[in-house]
Amino acid sequence: MGKLIAIRHGQSTWNAENRFTGWVDVDLSEKGVQEARRSGKLLKQLDINFDICFTSYLKRAIDTLEIVLKVLGEKYEYTKAWELNERHYGALTGLNKKETEEKIGEEQFKKYRRSWDIPPPILDKDSKYNFEKDPVYKGIKKIPQTESLKNTFDRVIPYFEKYMEKHLRLNKNVLLSAHGNTIRALGKKIFNISDKNINLLEIPTGNPLLINFDNSGKVLDAKYLDEERKSPIITNQ
């Protein structure tokens, strides 16, 4: 099996403002640009080739990947897929997280943000964050108006199994630049994390996660490359 390296994009401008971003196409902050460059340097130290790269439709993930590839000095082709987009936060999109928690209460806030299968309220059809008429998503049968992590899992995992896993089984190395909940959904499958404990899996910005598999597809080991910014990897829970 090849290696899978998953990177959550560097800090975005809305990450810095503590806002629910979801499908809104915001830029990297200056810190996020620096995180992406550091990710590239960490990957360069691995001294491995990447056979194929994937990212979402959102520029914070695309820009992170392009910065990483520039640091690597490579011009790999990459595939963009809307299925790898961040979770859609519905009516919470654009709201400040702290202010929202104060308004709806800690318990409800945690349910919306970190539960497995409870989505936020549906986005208003008249919202400026409604992407149904966005030409970028033309051809998609049904654009979500809100998503739980389970909903995100239900689009990320079929895409992984159909388009990414086959390359790993051919002993090819795969680089993914995506989002916190994209990688959390993928981690749930790969690390066999329970519905109850998936909220414990933290995905830091701009810190490549290296995953090694045995020939059967079972995880041998996994680690974040930035040792100064460790996050726990919850497995078999």
For residue 11, give every residue at least 6 positions away whose Cβ sits within 8 Å of its Cβ, in sequence order, or none.
28, 29, 31, 32, 35, 205, 206
Amino acid at 163: Y
Q: Which of 17, 66, 77, 86 is catalytic?
A: 86
CA–CA dist 185, 17 (Å, integer): 24
Domain boundaries, the chain: 4-89+148-229
Reading the chain (237 residues) residue by residue, the pLDDT tens digits are 999 999 999 999 999 999 999 999 999 999 999 999 999 999 999 989 899 999 999 999 999 999 999 999 988 889 999 999 999 999 999 999 999 999 999 999 999 999 999 999 999 989 999 998 899 998 898 899 999 999 999 999 999 999 999 999 999 999 999 999 999 999 999 999 999 999 889 899 999 999 999 988 899 999 999 876 656 565 555
CA–CA dist 38, 52 (Å, integer): 20
CA–CA dist 82, 135 (Å, integer): 13
- 179 a catalytic residue: no
Superfamily of segment(s) 4-89+148-229: Phosphoglycerate mutase-like (3.40.50.1240)
CA–CA dist 121, 135 (Å, integer): 24
- 88 a catalytic residue: no
